[in-house]
Amino acid sequence: MNVLVFNVGSTTLKFALIDSNGGSRIHSGMYDRIGQDGGDAIDHVSAVNLVLNSLDRNQIDVIAHRVVHGGERFTGPTNVDSSVLESLAKLDHLAPLHNPAARRVVEALVGFGLPQTLVFDTAYYSTLEPEAYRYALPETLYQNHHVRRYGFHGTSHQWITRLAIEHIEEIERSQRVTSDRPPLKLVSLHLGGGCSATASLGGVAVDTSMGMTPLEGLVMASRCGDIDPAIVLHLIRDVGLTVEQVDNLLNKQSGLMGLCGDSDMRTVLSRRADGDPVAELAVKIYVRRIAKTIGGFIAMLGGIDGLIFSAGVGEHSCEIRSLVVGSLECFGARLDTAANDSLDRTNRINDISAATSRVKVLVIATDEELAIARQVS
C-alpha cells in the first residue's frame, strides 16, 4: 500500500509517499517558512496543492496525517469523516501552533477522493495511569474541561522505543540471555525544536514530560518547559502583559531563545565553544532539566535498561549526548566516546554504550512518516 503522509509543522510541511510494506520512499520533500516572507508557500493548503501537482494520483492509496493533539477522544488511527473534523476543530486551542494548520490541510483534501486517516501524537500515551496524567487540580477541571496530561511526540517515541527493544533483544539472543527477563525499562529523548522525554515499560508508555500542551517539560528551542505557574499570574498582574503576550512569550521567546537569544542548538554550542558564558549557562540549564527528568523516570521505573536519543539535537549533537550521559553515570551509564563522536549515518541505530555501561545508550534516527504509514496500512 502506498501512503501519502503529511507532517504539518507550524511553518513547515513535510511529506512522503511511502510503500508501507517495504518502507521505501517513492517521493518526499519539505516546504519551509510557510506564510513567511520568502517562504516556499503562502499557506499550508497551497503547499499541499504543490505536493499533489508533483505526484501521480494513481500511485496514492490513502492519505495519512500527523496531528499533534488528539485530546481524550482520539487514541488511535482515525478515519476522517465530518464528525471527526468537527471534534478535531475543538482541539485547536490545545496545540495552536500545529493543530489548526493540520486540520485545514485535512479539510482541503476532503474532496480529493481518497481516504484519509489521522495519526495522533497523543495516542501513544493513552496507556498512562491516572496518577501519571492527572494534575493536582480540582476534579471538576478534569471532568468538565479535560485538564490532564496528554503527552506529545508519541509517534516518534513509540517508533524509537520499538526499535530499541528489538535491538536489545537481538543482542540478548546472540548472547543467549534468558528470554524470561522483566520488561525493558527505557527512557527515550526526542530532542529537536520541541523536546520531550518518555518512560516506557516493555514498550508501553508510563510517563512523559510534556503535559496538556507541548509547552510543559524540558527546555526547548523557544518554549520554556516547566516553570512556576505563578510566574504567569505575575506577568499578567504585575508586569502588565496580556494573555496573548504571555502565550507568545512562553511559546516563542523562551527556552534557548530566551536564555541566550538563539533557538538553534548548533549556534548555541558554537558560542559555548568560543567561551560565551551566556551560551554556557543555556546549555547547562538545558542538560540539567533533561537529567532531572530522567532521574525521576528512573525512580518511577525502578531502574533503567536503555536510554535513547533521537530527533535533530539528539541525533546530531555528540556534545549534548555526552553531557546528558555524563550526568547519569551514577546510574551506570557510560559512553563510548569514539562511537558517540562518529556515528555511522547509514545505520538506523547506533549503539554508543561503553563496554562497561550498565545502560544501553542508543542513537536512533526517528522516522515519523514511516511510522505513520505503518500505522494506517
Q: List, by residue number, the catalytic residues.
A: 121
Q: What is the DSSP letter of 184?
A: P
Known binder of ligand: residue 193?
yes
The three three-digit cell numbers of residue 271, written as one number: 558560542
Known binder of ligand: residue 340?
no
Known binder of ligand: residue 70?
no
Taking each helix axis from N to C end, the angle separating 82-89 and 99-108, rounded to the nearest 10 degrees, works out to 160
Known binder of ligand: residue 38?
no
CB neighbour class for 223 (10 Å; exposed up to 12, middle 13-18, buried from 19)? buried
Known binder of ligand: residue 7?
yes
Known binder of ligand: residue 313?
yes
The three three-digit cell numbers of residue 150, written as one number: 496528554
Known binder of ligand: residue 237?
no
Known binder of ligand: residue 292?
no
Known binder of ligand: residue 151?
no
Known binder of ligand: residue 173?
no
- Contacts of residue 269, defined as CB under 8 A and 6 or more positions apart, other chains included, come to 279, 283, 317, 319, 320
Torsion of CA 342, 347, 349, 351, to 10 degrees: -40
Q: Tell me the CA distances in angstroms from 16 to 31, 122, 327, one per residue in order.
A: 12, 21, 38
Q: Residues 273, 277, 280, CA angle at the centre, nearest 5°?
A: 60
Q: What is the DSSP letter of 336?
A: -
CB neighbour class for 138 (10 Å; exposed up to 12, middle 13-18, buried from 19)? exposed
| Residue ranges in the chain assigned as alpha helix (H) | 44-53, 82-89, 99-108, 130-133, 139-145, 154-174, 230-234, 243-252, 255-260, 265-273, 277-301, 311-316, 318-326, 337-341, 368-376
DSSP helix/strand/coil, 172 = helix
How many other C-beta atoms can be found within 10 angstroms of the C-beta atom of residue 337? 12
Known binder of ligand: residue 241?
no
Known binder of ligand: residue 194?
yes
Residue 235 carries which side chain, given as an amino acid letter?
Answer: L
Known binder of ligand: residue 192?
yes
Backbone angles phi, psi at 241, to 5 degrees: -80, 150
Known binder of ligand: residue 14?
yes
Known binder of ligand: residue 257?
no
What does the alpha-carbon distance between residue 306 and residue 287 come to, in Å, rounded to a whole number? Answer: 18
Q: Which residues are annotated as a binding site for Mg(2+)?
A: 7, 368
Q: Which residues are annotated as a binding site?
A: 7, 14, 66, 190-194, 264-266, 312-316, 368
Q: Which residues are annotated as a binding site for substrate?
A: 66
Q: Which residues are annotated as a binding site for ATP?
A: 14, 190-194, 264-266, 312-316
